[in-house]
Amino acid sequence: MDRAWQRMAALQRQAYAMCVRAYASGARTSKETRHFAYQDRRTKLSDRKTHLYGTYERLMNESELLLLFEMENVNMTLMKEVRAQVAHIPIPAADRERLVALNGGQPWDRPPSRFSVVRTGLLRPVCRKHESEAVQQLGPYLHGQLALLACPVLSPEYVGRLLRAMEKPVSAAAGAIDPKSGQKVPKLAPLVAVVERARLIEAQGLPALTKLPDLATLRAQIVGLLSAPGQQLAGVLSQARGGLLAATLDARRRDLETPAP
């Protein structure tokens, strides 16, 4: 009887081992032959990434100011508040008229400026392939958590208003954190900017950029400086034409004819 039970137990162990081997073999076979849909797109970008890639290309070509920001501890709620502040600042009227003219007279219905989180893996090849050397120089900065502010116009006053408006929700969120709680303070700091796809400006130079006069004021100042000498000469000639020069010379003649005491 004991031998029968031992033999039966051995047969059960053998059958169990065979089942395990068959299951393992089937699992390996199914794993090797299983096919996923994303495997058909391994050599190309997904639809979402293709859309973002095209968006980055358009922003690089159409924006007169590209400003990268370093981000730390910025949640979605704070990001939405910053975006709302950016969308609330209107483009100056003179710059909007210029955009309409560049758009073939069609109304400019795009957002004033765009602020979004950067996918550095997609933005890096866009910058690398761009024809502008200044845009290409953004490559070494494209690491970590970054955000991009793209402005269609380069107006120092407009850029200054944008930066001040973006700072408000970040400062409010940082001030609402209890220092004793150990919670990390959000950070959104300018890193580097590209101006008119022609020049790279570090963050230290941005305050000086925002204090510059706008293009219309600068043109008026240049015209004033160039026209000032001409206006002075015209005033002298006008006075001479009225006889003031003749009177001055006659008075000088009388002084010379007066005998010395």
Segment 237-254, tens digit of pLDDT: 555 555 555 556 566 556
Please give the Cα distance from 68 to 138 (Å, whole number). 9
142: exposed, middle or buried (C-beta count within 10 Å: 0-12, 13-18, 19+)? buried
Question: 95-99, 122-126, 217-221: which has the minimum mean pLDDT?
Answer: 217-221
194: exposed, middle or buried (C-beta count within 10 Å: 0-12, 13-18, 19+)? buried
User: How would you list the strands of the sheet with 187-195, edge to edge?
Assistant: 114-117, 146-151, 65-72, 187-195, 199-202
What per-residue confidence (pLDDT) applies to 130?
93
Segment 35-57, tens digit of pLDDT: 455 445 445 778 888 999 999 99
The residue that leads in pLDDT, 232 or 187, is 187
CA dist list (Å): 154 to 92, 98, 151, 194, 251 = 10, 12, 7, 11, 59
Mean pLDDT of 118-135: 92
Q: What percentage of residues in the chain have a pLDDT greater than 90?
A: 32
Please give the Cα distance from 6 to 205 (Å, whole number). 88
